[in-house]
Structure 1
Amino acid sequence: MNRHEFKQKVIDYAHSIGIDEIGFTHAEPFHELREKLVDYHANGYASGFEKGTIDERTDPKLSLDSAQSIISIAVGYPNRLPDAPKSRKGERRGLFARASWGVDYHTLLNCRLEKLEAYISSLDPSIEMKSMVDTGVMSDREVARRSGLGYIGKNGFVINPNLGTYSYLGEMLTSYPFPPDEELIDSCGDCNLCVDRCPTGALVGNGQLNSQKCISYLTQTKGFLPDEYRGKIGNRLYGCDTCQQVCPRNKGINTDHHDDIVLEPEILKPELTGLLEISNREFKETYGHLAGVWRGKKPIQRNAIIALAHFKEEGAVDVLKSVAENDPRPVIKGTAYWAVGQIEGDGALDYINERFKMETDEAVRDEMLKGIQEVV
């Protein structure tokens, strides 16, 4: 069996196990990516979630010294939520970004990659392989681009002709010299919608992102959310889809044929006050399978509190006061006091002044004052 026949067998098997798109590239260093990463760090755009050094991220052989090629895979995910519950006064709801709908995509992709590895081994046991999904050192998007799965748009996502930007990406380094695919030559042209519509101006053009300003990143941080972004996140509990929602290349695309991506409307668009009263055990049992809770309960609860302030939800004030008075975590306590001030305005003055006398944490005290002094 020659290399092209081998490659076709792998392609056919990949499609049979739920891999929507598959591409192949060589394992030489990513020289252009290195230049971008140097600028990315020099400009202070890094989120801190990135794995590995610049050398590790751009030289595949540092991950698998026998690597001769890289297989890139893409699995499309839905962007429409059927039967989504309505967010209404007295029952305000938050939202998880679409990449977190269904089972954690790390689990989903790793399952497919493990099957693909086993199949390749059955054809040739001597082939060495190493797979990665997001948490590895390789850039999933750059590998996908060079493998011909799509081009990188101004929003920084890989845009695939069949999946748009709504796809999970993973890759496999192999010691087998698969024939590489051609890169997809395309561009966003004059379209600048994603850059113009980004709520915080995080997209700086040419596919570059200032992660420090990106709502997707901000919703995953654990400290107090910076003041200038509290009015920007709306009801987002995890992630942000704006730059994908406005992309014309996503028009008419909704990949919903995967049986292992199960949509749960009540979980993906949960009632906000319920999130504030949930126990650790209940939270893990209800939301633990979502990729969007990898940072734990605190960021989700902080974002839920900010969302209630965004809605000016008067019906949540009693719950917020209970959280403010009883939660031991300064970030949650302080944000709850801030939200009470935002919702009640002057009506919160007596309550905040009385509680202020009892509070000893300076960060919480600052939030209490901010809540009644500022209006988002």
Structure 2
Amino acid sequence: MKAAAADLGIDKIGVASADPFRELKQRLLRHRELGYESGFEEPDLDKRTEPALLFDDPQSIIAIAIAYPSKLQQAPKSEPGARRGILSRSAWGEDYHKVLRERLGRLEDWLRERVPDFRSESMVDTGALSDRAVAERAGIGWIGKNCAIITPEWGSWVYLGEMITNLPLPPDSPVTESCGECTACIDACPTDALVGPGQLNAQRCISFVTQTKGIVSDELMRKIGNRLYGCDTCQVVCPENRGKNWTHQPELQPDNEKAKPLLVPLLKMGNKKFKELYGASASAWRGRKPIQRNAVIALGNFKDPSAVPSLTAVLGDDPRYELRATAAWSLGRIGGPEATKALERALGGESDEAVVEAIKAALAAAGATSAAVPADGAGRAEREASRNE
């Protein structure tokens, strides 16, 4: 099976026992008590840690890893008047859920040809089991301080999937490498969401925040920079990823204009166009609202006065209160007479209380901001964009 991995389009295969993940359950309970869950997880902790609840008489779990790219080749530049956002690497190329399910399907077919009574249950990301816990037990890699699986061969630029089976396969040994004394990821996390080695407060993780649909706090909007979906900072700074960029999986290669799109056109994009451009990407699962809201945030963080007319249109015309409130915040960040006039006009015609409060806060911010001095916004966001390339 392992020898056939490359022909099946799989970069690494490991085998784990199907025993309950008892230590993981205790960690998950503590995680829940502290309020660190994202809400996207399987809520039943027994299902997350006991394979026998998901599959009749499980004998082993096969874990797979597929490597993905970390760099854009000849990435387009973000410039004044043509500012760009960035999607995390997990949203480059075709939706990795689809790609991994197809690879797991190939592996299932390969095994079924050789074992007539073969049974399996495959899952990717949205399944009940913890992909990382299975991968760690199966010897795919170790769980880094950034909570990612780090493989000796591919770094942490890997997608994970697993297959519970009725095959009594010999389990692999866990990888003995570790992060050692390195704390680069913890130190670099923009929101201090990594509260300890291997401990993540998902509520503060920018990757999670960019996928929410509501109004984001002032603090977190400033930290988002120009990110439209996801965050790669804790992986970018990891020494184990230095120089690693994988281009051999064709479905996962990025389209530069989709991975680093112009921000202003995103504001006017309808559902049809969004599905056409991003429907095949992992970033589409929450719809266009979060990405459009994040584009509004990015324009505010760039503090580019040329964005004021587009943001004014969102503030005055967009039917979604979340985007109107966010547009007010961005206009306040940019400041200047034009932004201030737009906010004052909108205040008289706005009926939503949350938006009214956002406009008032933005007017106060605009009054304290000089559009001629970009402070920490444009420069920091631009540097973030450069790092993300």
Q: Which category of TM-score, normalised to the shorter sequence, fits these structures?
A: over 0.9
How much does 1:297 deviate? 0.3
Partner of 2:382: none
3-state SS of 2:190 partner: coil
Letter in 1 for 2:246: T
Letter in 1 for 2:133: E
3-state SS of 2:286 partner: coil
3-state SS of 2:335 partner: helix
For 1:191 and 1:180, locate their aligned partners in 2 and report how far apart those are by CA, in whole Å. Answer: 29
Contact 2:312/2:342 (CA < 8 Å) preserved in 1?
Answer: no
2:22 matches 1:31: yes
For 1:274 and 1:124, locate their aligned partners in 2 and report how far apart those are by CA, in whole Å. Answer: 53
Contact 1:72/1:172 (CA < 8 Å) preserved in 2?
Answer: yes
Unaligned runs of 5+ in 2: 370-376, 378-389
Contact 1:75/1:168 (CA < 8 Å) preserved in 2?
Answer: yes
For 2:215 and 2:185, locate their aligned partners in 1 and report how far apart those are by CA, in whole Å. Answer: 27
For 1:305 and 1:103, locate their aligned partners in 2 and report how far apart those are by CA, in whole Å. Answer: 25
Partner of 1:155: 146
Alignment of 1:127-276 (within 5 A): 127-276=118-267
Letter in 1 for 2:305: E
Partner of 1:126: 117
Partner of 2:344: 353
How much does 1:336 deviate? 1.1
For 1:42 and 1:257, locate their aligned partners in 2 and report how far apart those are by CA, in whole Å. Answer: 42
2:279 matches 1:288: yes
Partner of 2:325: 334
Letter in 1 for 2:58: A
Count of residues in correspondence between the two structures: 367
Partner of 1:93: 84
Unaligned runs of 5+ in 1: 1-9
Partner of 2:68: 77
For 2:32 and 2:269, locate their aligned partners in 1 and report how far apart those are by CA, in whole Å. Answer: 38
2:301 matches 1:310: yes
Letter in 2 for 1:180: P
How much does 1:241 deviate? 0.5
Contact 2:85/2:263 (CA < 8 Å) preserved in 1?
Answer: yes
Contact 1:337/1:367 (CA < 8 Å) preserved in 2?
Answer: yes
Letter in 1 for 2:114: L
How much does 1:345 deviate? 4.0
Contact 1:23/1:73 (CA < 8 Å) preserved in 2?
Answer: yes
How much does 1:322 deviate? 1.0
CA deviation digits over 1:264-300, x for unaligned, max 9? 0011100000100111100110111110121010000
Partner of 1:4: none
Partner of 1:102: 93
3-state SS of 1:113 partner: helix
CA deviation digits over 1:31-85, x for unaligned, max 9? 1101110110001000000024110000011110221100000000000110210
CA deviation digits over 1:181-225, x for unaligned, max 9? 001112211111100110000001220100000000000000001
3-state SS of 1:357 partner: helix
CA deviation digits over 1:209-256, x for unaligned, max 9? 000000000000000011211110100000000000000011121111
Partner of 1:343: 334
How much does 1:346 deviate? 5.4
How much does 1:90 deviate? 0.4
Partner of 1:65: 56
Backbone CA RMSD of aligned residues: 1.2
1:297 pairs with one of 288, 296, 314: 288
3-state SS of 1:294 partner: helix
How much does 1:354 deviate? 2.6
Contact 1:345/1:372 (CA < 8 Å) preserved in 2?
Answer: no
Instruction: Using the aligned pairs only, state the percent identity.
Output: 49
Contact 2:331/2:362 (CA < 8 Å) preserved in 1?
Answer: yes
Contact 1:342/1:372 (CA < 8 Å) preserved in 2?
Answer: no
For 1:290 and 1:70, locate their aligned partners in 2 and report how far apart those are by CA, in whole Å. Answer: 28
2:359 matches 1:373: no
Partner of 1:364: 355
For 1:308 and 1:355, locate their aligned partners in 2 and report how far apart those are by CA, in whole Å. Answer: 19
Contact 2:247/2:253 (CA < 8 Å) preserved in 1?
Answer: no
CA deviation digits over 1:281-327, x for unaligned, max 9? 00110111110121010000000000000001111111111111111
For 1:153 and 1:147, locate their aligned partners in 2 and report how far apart those are by CA, in whole Å. Answer: 15
For 2:111 and 2:341, locate their aligned partners in 1 and report how far apart those are by CA, in whole Å. Answer: 69
TM-score by length of 2: 0.92
2:11 matches 1:20: yes
TM-score by length of 1: 0.95
For 1:193 and 1:314, locate their aligned partners in 2 and report how far apart those are by CA, in whole Å. Answer: 35
Contact 2:308/2:339 (CA < 8 Å) preserved in 1?
Answer: no
For 2:37 and 2:56, locate their aligned partners in 1 and report how far apart those are by CA, in whole Å. Answer: 27
Letter in 2 for 1:318: P
